[in-house]
Chain A
Amino acid sequence: MDATTAPHHIPPEMSQYGEENHIFEIMQNMLEQLLIHQPKDPILFMINHLQLDNDNVPKIVILGPPASGKTTIAMWLCKHLNSNLLTVENLIAKEFSSLAAAARKHYQINKRVPSMQLVRLIQDRVSEDDCVRRGWILDGIPETREQALMIQTVGITPRHVIVLSAPDTVLIERNLGKRIDPQTGEIYHTTFDWPSESEIQDRLIVPVGISELETAGKLLEYHRNIVRIFPSYPKILKVISADQPCVDVFYQALTYVQTNHRSNAPFTPRVLLCGPMGSGKSLQAALLAQKYSLVNVCCGQLLKEAVADKSKFGEVIQPFFEKDMAVPDSLIMKVLSERLNQQDCIQKGWVLHGFPRDLDQALMMDSLGYKPNRVFFLNVPFDSVLERLTLRRTDPITGERYHLMYKPPPTTEIQDRLLQNPKDAEEHVKFKMDLFYRNAAELEEFYGQALTINGDQDPYTVFEYIESGIINPLPQKVP
């Protein structure tokens, strides 16, 4: 069999490099831009695109009914992400533009800007340098499906669309309390968001058009239009309830725009599960291995298997087992390396649990090149752990495992002969928990991108959290 017919093994360094540097996403973005603009000289275009390096700038659309707070949220997001805010008002207020002047005239007469002109204004604004470099946030645009399609046709695609929603009655009430600061343009509210400085309080004015009837009319039109805009942004749209304090709405919006969407990049999961004894690591690892065909690597199990197989490592490890001493790190690392280097681990990915337990082990693993791309910390309070572990029993005759609360034995006859594993005794569990928590802080610092999950729930809920942690890209932090 020669090199042409044998299957090619792609070295794992390539996939690690690809993941860390987001090569797939870079290429995908470049291809998207090439297809939208179809330049005559693709190479020059690609050079310019790469130099801009603006794949991750914010490109957000915020939509919502009147009085939902979208302008407030848009302004806060702008300040926080250091981006540019685009609204109908500031687009038509642009100086030195005949297009803007025409739009202003139209707005003064009809109170709205024709879609064609609006989209042209947006197109010009978005191609300006500051929008290219720092991104943009569209507040309340597109208003109709027609506008949404036109914006798409000129090649402007948002990466996140947020739609605020609240019951109509709440909105009508809220709108009655709306006040505007004529100097800064910020919006305040008589009940929910009253400014603290008295000088701002004095200059606030009541805006036009906030009576109940007018608000109801605007709401009707909004509902008619928004339903038809939804299908234009299928995967990037998120609805946030505006019927909560604005800080909460802002927090949800900010978290959402900082997440990247799932891409089609090839991804081999290398998952690390950390947590104290009894947090459910083995169970979750088994579920993950079964569903995603990953290799389940349990450190304790590996060592026991080595001893049982009487392999060369096993013979060195056995005296430690016999004397009930901890196996030295270097030895564990060797056995682990042997397992992780095997072809099935490299190709399918792995789920590791039971190792590393402290910073030294983590550093050793990292230096050998085994870097997990998802790390999870399972948090379970001490009482739950005690409950889970101290009530475990085994039937010495059938070998069946029971739990006095979650899986009680069916008959009293079985119950009488159940035995408890000494490792599940309360003092031992306490000792192990303390050991874990002493080292946990350092581990959490080392694995900066780790996700913490509440392990004190039923197994399938925890599994779903872990799954979404693996499948979704890691959230990016605002620089």
Chain B
Amino acid sequence: MEAGGSREREARNYLEKHRIMELLKYLTSVLLFIRPEKPREYLIAILEKLRIAKATGVAFPFFMDHSNITAMFDMMDSSKKGTISFVQYKEALKTLGLCPADEVLKDDGHAITLDKFKSEVNKRTQEIWSAF
């Protein structure tokens, strides 16, 4: 049915435009990680904070702050070379939910350093959050 098809497309576009799925994934992860006594109130609090952050332009308290990113990097860089391989980098981005499974990342031949990793994670998180 044509009418059904176009409404479905509308709905999908809506989801993409506002990055609803990423937001819901993030909210669910936070809930399962923090496990607050009152999930609804906690969700409302996060959403309020997000609104304020958007309105005032202040950076939003992301799930992963700098110490977390460094810790994650260190876990992957077990031999303490200071760099991680491209495969590890791609897996890490997928685990953080910052990279859809079918995206193709360029492998420029150099190993990924901590700074590059940090900046890439921040850049992608910023991209997602700026849509809200």
Q: Which residues of A does B touch, CB under 8 Å?
A: 2-5, 8, 13-14, 17-18, 21, 23, 26-27, 30-31, 34-35, 38, 42-44, 46-47, 50-51, 53
| Contact, CB under 8 Å: B51 / A34 | no
Contacts of B128 in A (CB 8 A): none
Q: Is B82 an interface residue (CB 8 A)?
A: no
| Contact, CB under 8 Å: A4 / B40 | no
Chain A residue at minimum C-beta to C-beta distance from B34: A17
Q: Is B31 an interface residue (CB 8 A)?
A: yes
Q: Is B132 an interface residue (CB 8 A)?
A: yes
| A-binding segment of B62-70, B87-95, B98-106 | B87-95
> Which 5 A-B residue pairings sit nearest by Cβ, starting from the closest?
A4-B91, A14-B32, A3-B75, A17-B35, A4-B88
Contacts of A5 in B (CB 8 A): 91
Contacts of B18 in A (CB 8 A): 42
Q: Which residues of B does A touch, CB under 8 Å?
A: 10-11, 14-15, 18, 20, 23-24, 27-28, 31-33, 35, 39-40, 43-44, 47-48, 50-51, 54, 72, 75-76, 78, 87-88, 91-92, 95, 132
| Contact, CB under 8 Å: A47 / B44 | yes
Contacts of B39 in A (CB 8 A): 21, 23, 26
| Contact, CB under 8 Å: B20 / A31 | yes
A4-B27 CB under 8 A given contacts A13-B35, A17-B32, A34-B20:
no
Chain A residue at minimum C-beta to C-beta distance from B89: A4
Q: Which of A8, A34, A47 contacts B47 (CB 8 A)?
A: A47
Contacts of B54 in A (CB 8 A): 43
| Contact, CB under 8 Å: B76 / A3 | yes
Kindly provide the distance from the CB of A242 to the nearest chain B CB, expressed in whole angstroms: 34
Q: Which of A2, A14, A50 contacts B40 (CB 8 A)?
A: A50
Kindly provide the distance from the CB of B40 to the nearest chain A CB, expressed in whole angstroms: 5
CA distance A42 to B28 in the complex (A): 16
Kindly provide the distance from the CB of B70 to the nearest chain A CB, expressed in whole angstroms: 14
Contacts of B76 in A (CB 8 A): 2-4
| Contact, CB under 8 Å: B47 / A38 | no
CA distance A4 to B50 in the complex (A): 30
A26-B48 CB under 8 A given contacts A35-B14, A42-B20:
no
CA distance A30 to B40 in the complex (A): 11
Interface centre among A18, A42, A44 (most CB of B within 10 A): A42
A31-B24 CB under 8 A given contacts A3-B75, A4-B92, A50-B40:
yes
Kindly provide the distance from the CB of B27 to the nearest chain A CB, expressed in whole angstroms: 7
Chain A residue at minimum C-beta to C-beta distance from B3: A153
Kindly provide the distance from the CB of B81 to the nearest chain A CB, expressed in whole angstroms: 12
CA distance A436 to B54 in the complex (A): 62
| Contact, CB under 8 Å: B20 / A50 | no
A14-B51 CB under 8 A given contacts A38-B14, A42-B20:
no
Interface centre among B31, B54, B91 (most CB of A within 10 A): B31
| Contact, CB under 8 Å: B28 / A53 | no
| Contact, CB under 8 Å: A2 / B78 | yes
Chain B residue at minimum C-beta to C-beta distance from A35: B11
CA distance A17 to B50 in the complex (A): 24
Q: List 29 A-B contacts (CB under 8 A).
A: A2-B75, A3-B72, A3-B75, A4-B92, A4-B95, A21-B31, A21-B39, A23-B39, A26-B39, A27-B24, A27-B28, A30-B24, A31-B24, A35-B11, A35-B14, A38-B10, A38-B14, A42-B18, A42-B132, A43-B50, A43-B51, A43-B132, A44-B51, A46-B43, A46-B47, A47-B47, A47-B48, A50-B47, A51-B44
Chain A residue at minimum C-beta to C-beta distance from B19: A42
Q: Which of B10, B40, B47 contacts A43 (CB 8 A)?
A: B47
